[in-house]
Amino acid sequence: MKYEINDPVRLTDDGRAILAIDQTLLPNHAAYIRIETQRQMYNAIRNMQVRGAPCIGIFAAYAMFLQAKVFAQSCSDKENFYQQLHTFAKVLSTARPTAVDLTWALKRMERAAANNMRRSFDTIVEAMRKEAEDIHEGNIRTCFAIANYGLSLVNEGEGILTLCNAGALATSRYGTALGPLLLGAEKGMDLKAFVCETRPRLQGARLTAYELINAGIDTTLICDSMASVVMKEKKVKACFVGCDRVAKNGDTVNEIGTSALAILARFYKVPFYVFCPTSSIDVSCDNGSKIEIDRRDPDEIKTEFFKSPVAPEAVKCYNPAADVTDARLITAIITEEGINYPPYDFV
């Protein structure tokens, strides 16, 4: 079957707002929300209505374009225009500091403005629109290339274990880590997916299972703590995960639980593959210890997705959003440029 999904973020037809699938409502309710203001843009990322590093980058690009239109109307000179644009980019970058695609896209949009500062406001704004569209279209091509490379790593009938969500919802079209499964389904391959629920925000249960089931893929949901049993029983041939950022040495940051999964995979001799666009590789960061890890609301552990609290109100919670997977645990890192095996030294 052919896998189809609307892009999780896109401009409205009139170019005045962003339409984004509210991923906090899935899988029970699929709906686009309209996002126009700076506060709405920041909150959409912070509250994970828009999520997935590449998707956040696309969203940020469109947000910069929309704000450029606003600033062009309210500013009397180019210097003030660019300063407001820069300030907005700086604020938006703090909404999800772990995801390098966010700052990557913001910098590209700032450069698009800077390169046209001697031209009219209309020309600057149009250049920024084109840049945002290029970022979006480029990610679609990138994800297709990643999916093709990843598909070469699996065979008919094999099981793949994944965590969090790295499909079209987190990127565009095919996604990264889910790309091989979705492309394989499109080609008529019989592949099996085992999906870790991914506590505490349940991106695996809510989003990955939703995407894979809709694509007609044989999908089994497991609790995160069941991953070792699935590996021991040889139900899976490989682990496929996405990531928010890759350091120069190959250390990767992804949703909390990824590092533990990689350690289990090493013990059970299951190949562990990381999928990402090259925009997620941060060559300015030597290793994973230098990457800022977002700390999220403790109530995500105790109350979110539950009808009533599942822990005492007074108990303290430690809730890092992500963890660092040591490069030594990664079998290969797959980008749109190919399959990269260790030792890693990205430039």
Render pLDDT for 85-126 as a digit per residue (tens, 0 to 9).
Answer: 999 999 999 999 888 899 999 999 999 999 999 999 999 999
Q: Which two tokens stand for residue 254?
A: 């992804």
Structure tokens belonging to residue 22: 């509210």
Give residue limits of the domains in the chain. Answer: 9-143, 153-340
pLDDT > 90 in the chain, percent: 91
Q: Which fold has domain 9-143?
A: Four Helix Bundle (Hemerythrin (Met), subunit A) (1.20.120)
Distance, in Å, from the CA atom of 306 to the CA atom of 141, rounded to the nearest integer, reads 39
Looking at residue 347, its pLDDT comes to 83
Q: Which of 7, 244, 251, 282 is catalytic?
A: 244
Is the preceding omega at residue 277 within 30 degrees of 0, hence cis?
no
Whether 244 sits among the annotated catalytic residues: the reply is yes
Report how far residue 317's alpha carbon sits from residue 300's, in angstroms, rounded to the nearest whole number: 9
Cβ neighbourhood burial of 211 (10 Å; 0-12, 13-18, 19+): buried
Which one of 3.40.50.1370, 2.60.40.1180, 3.40.50.10470, 3.90.190.20 gives the CATH number of domain 153-340? 3.40.50.10470
**pLDDT, tens digit (0-9, with 9 covering 90-100), for 196-254:** 999 999 999 999 999 999 999 999 999 999 999 999 999 999 999 999 999 999 999 99
Range 186-203 average pLDDT: 96
Summarised one tens digit per residue, pLDDT across range 127-148 is 999 999 999 999 999 999 999 9
Q: What angle do CA 104, 107, 111 make, to 5 degrees?
A: 140
The DSSP 8-state label assigned to residue 295 in this structure reads: B
Burial of 125 per CB tally in 10 Å (0-12, 13-18, 19+): buried
What are the CA-CA distances from residue 264 to residues 109, 275, 323 (Å)? 40, 18, 15
Q: What is the pLDDT of residue 332?
A: 98
Strand, helix or coil at 334? strand
In this prediction, residues 256-266 reach a mean pLDDT of 98
Share above pLDDT 70 across residues of the chain, in percent, rounded to a whole number:
98
Model confidence at 15, in pLDDT bands (50, 70, 90)? very high
Closest CA to 170 of 207, 195, 133: 207
Contact 240, 252 (CB under 8 A): no
Confidence of residue 6 (pLDDT cuts 50, 70, 90): low
pLDDT, averaged across the chain? 94
* Burial track 162-200 (b if 16+ CB lie within 10 A, e otherwise): bbbbbbbbbbbbbbbbbbbbbbbbbeebebbbbbbbbbb
